[in-house]
């Protein structure tokens, strides 16, 4: 395994407490690598041989590479920037019994118990009113100002038999002794480089402050907050940046709001991807026929982490289709098409991996456990093309601290780089050639 890759991932996750920060850090990686930033609001002039990127809502990002030979089908690697967490409500501060607490609500479906008894950070974005401008600025408060305390076993004797946690009652973090909460707005304003009176709005979240680390007797595992899906987002950005230019248009798409169903203006179930692809076609002088034909000849790999078999509960996983950490890139299958993979798209992707020397493994849920969903099948409803759902095997998905295989990051970077560099020609419906 490549320790430089792992340290890059660890730095990225530690510096990305929210989707806003993840997208800002991805944008910085891409711009450093030569991507020219675009604004959706402006007209685009695109040049052959150049890379571009744009964001929507500061929380989704798309980058693309125009080939020297001009307009061509797309090769898209997709993932998501958000992770389950708690969001501060608009009027969030509460006081009583000697404490100042925050009123928060769930963002996505986390394992709530894992958020208890952990020092938590506060991060997100605030709106600064200055002159006639209302500007969104990212904030990440120093340290870990919040903690959600458990009840002691002595007043909750059934705690080890399973506790029902109510988000409205049990999950409100303490941020100060009562009276000390007056510094909260100053801390937030200071983090935004503004005065408290200039803050007119906020999208703020609690985040786990644990730093990403290696574990296992031989360093074979990693643990970090938000591995789902920042591990795939980081891997796909590294693969996009490292891939040699090819005949098709490489696209990196990292969407917000997967954890709440993708149905927002910047999510996978929005116009974002389809509009960007159409604008690329228009800017490169392609007509509607050429665009539709190129979409049908495009290919998407949607990368979102997968469930590694749990050593204490192997019975929760399908007997013949379970996957393990460090076993390579997971290709996901589901009869109800919660995953976009089909026999042909999966075979193409696995062949690309085989050629690149990257191991793959196949995953399906138990038939009596519905499993999760992801964004691949949603994205291709909006921009229809052959697609495969992939991921990396991890434990404790949606825990505040998740674990994965230390060798698998390199597997995903290698697989997606090979995917961008491969010549995958959709010759006709039912026939794809790999050159
Ligand atoms: Zn995910």
Domain final position from 183, 208, 233: 208
pLDDT of the residue at 371: 80
Strand-pairing partners, residue 77, are 252, 301
Does residue 220 fall inside a structural domain?
A: no
How many domains, in total, are found in the chain?
Answer: 2
Does residue 213 fall inside a structural domain?
A: no
CA of 304 to the centre of ligand 1 (A): 5
pLDDT of the residue at 346: 98
CA of 5 to the centre of ligand 1 (A): 20
In this structure, are 277 and 419 located in the same domain?
Answer: yes
CA of 155 to the centre of ligand 1 (A): 36
- The DSSP-derived string for 258-281 is GGGTS-STTSTTSSHHHHHHHHHH
Domain final position from 166, 182, 208: 208
CA of 217 to the centre of ligand 1 (A): 28
On the CB side of 341, how many CA atoms lie within 13 Å of its CA? 26
Q: What is the CATH number of the domain that holds 194?
A: 2.30.250.10
In this structure, are 77 and 93 located in the same domain?
Answer: no
Can you tell me the distance from the alpha carbon of 158 to that of 338, in angstroms, rounded to the nearest whole number? 37
pLDDT tens-place values along the chain, 435 residues long: 788 899 999 999 999 999 999 999 999 999 999 999 999 999 999 999 999 999 999 999 999 999 999 999 999 999 999 999 999 999 999 999 999 999 999 999 999 999 999 999 999 999 999 999 999 999 999 999 999 999 999 999 998 998 899 999 999 999 999 999 888 999 999 999 999 999 999 999 999 999 999 999 999 999 999 999 999 999 999 999 999 999 999 999 999 999 999 999 999 999 999 999 999 999 999 999 999 999 999 999 999 999 999 999 999 999 999 999 999 999 999 998 999 999 999 999 999 999 999 999 999 999 998 888 899 999 998 899 999 999 999 999 999 999 999 999 999 999 999 999 999 999 999 999 998
Can you tell me the distance from the alpha carbon of 5 to that of 302, in angstroms, rounded to the nearest whole number? 21
Angle at 340 between CA 334 and CA 344, to 5 degrees: 95
Q: Tell whether omega for the bond before 229 is within 30 degrees of 0, i.e. cis.
A: yes
In this structure, are 279 and 374 located in the same domain?
Answer: yes
Q: Taking a C-beta distance cutoff of 8 angstroms, is the pair 329, 366 a contact?
A: no
pLDDT of the residue at 3: 83
Alpha-carbon distances, residue 418 vs 242, 421, 425 (angstroms): 10, 5, 14
- Domain containing residue 170: 85-208
In this structure, are 17 and 104 located in the same domain?
Answer: no
CA of 375 to the centre of ligand 1 (A): 8
CA of 96 to the centre of ligand 1 (A): 37
CA of 430 to the centre of ligand 1 (A): 29
In this structure, are 196 and 258 located in the same domain?
Answer: no
């Amino acid at each position: 395994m490549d320790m430089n890759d792992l340290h890059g991932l660890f730095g990225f996750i530690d510096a990305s407490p929210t989707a806003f920060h993840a997208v800002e850090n991805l944008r910085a990686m891409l711009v450093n690598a030569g991507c020219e930033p675009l604004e959706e609001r402006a007209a685009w002039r695109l040049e052959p041989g150049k890379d571009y990127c744009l964001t929507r809502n500061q929380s989704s990002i798309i980058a693309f590479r125009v080939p020297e030979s001009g307009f061509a089908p797309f090769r898209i690697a997709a993932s998501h920037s958000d992770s389950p967490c708690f969001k501060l409500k608009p009027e969030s501060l509460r006081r009583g019994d000697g404490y100042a607490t925050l009123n928060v609500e769930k963002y996505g479906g986390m394992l709530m118990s894992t958020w208890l008894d952990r020092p938590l950070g506060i991060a997100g974005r605030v709106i600064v009113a200055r002159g006639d401008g209302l500007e969104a600025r990212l904030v990440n408060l120093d340290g870990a100002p919040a903690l959600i305390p458990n009840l002691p076993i002595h007043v909750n004797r059934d705690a080890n038999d399973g506790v029902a946690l109510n988000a409205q009652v049990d999950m409100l973090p303490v941020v100060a002794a009562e009276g000390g909460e007056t510094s909260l707005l100053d801390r937030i304003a200071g983090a935004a480089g503004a005065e408290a009176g200039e803050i007119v709005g906020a999208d703020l979240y609690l985040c786990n402050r644990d730093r990403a680390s290696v574990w296992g007797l031989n360093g074979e595992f990693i643990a970090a907050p938000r591995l789902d899906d920042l591990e795939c987002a980081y891997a796909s950005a590294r693969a996009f940046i490292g891939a040699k230019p090819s005949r098709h248009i490489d696209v990196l798409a990292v969407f917000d709001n997967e954890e709440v169903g993708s149905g927002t203006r910047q999510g996978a179930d929005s116009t974002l991807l389809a509009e960007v692809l159409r604008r690329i076609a228009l800017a490169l002088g392609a007509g509607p026929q050429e665009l539709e034909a190129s979409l049908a000849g495009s290919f998407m790999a949607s990368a979102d982490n997968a469930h590694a078999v749990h050593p204490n509960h192997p019975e929760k996983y399908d007997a013949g289709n379970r996957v393990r950490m460090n076993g390579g890139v997971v290709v996901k299958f589901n009869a109800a098409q919660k995953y976009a993979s089909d026999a042909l798209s999966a075979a193409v992707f696995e062949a690309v991996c085989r050629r690149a020397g990257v191991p793959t493994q196949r995953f399906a849920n138990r038939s009596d456990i519905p499993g999760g969903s992801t964004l691949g099948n949603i994205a291709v409803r909006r921009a229809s093309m052959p697609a495969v759902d992939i991921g990396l095997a991890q434990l404790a998905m949606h825990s505040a601290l998740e674990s994965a295989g230390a060798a698998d990051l390199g597997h995903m970077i290698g697989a997606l780089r090979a995917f961008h560099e491969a010549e995958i020609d959709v010759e006709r419906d039912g026939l794809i050639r790999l050159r």
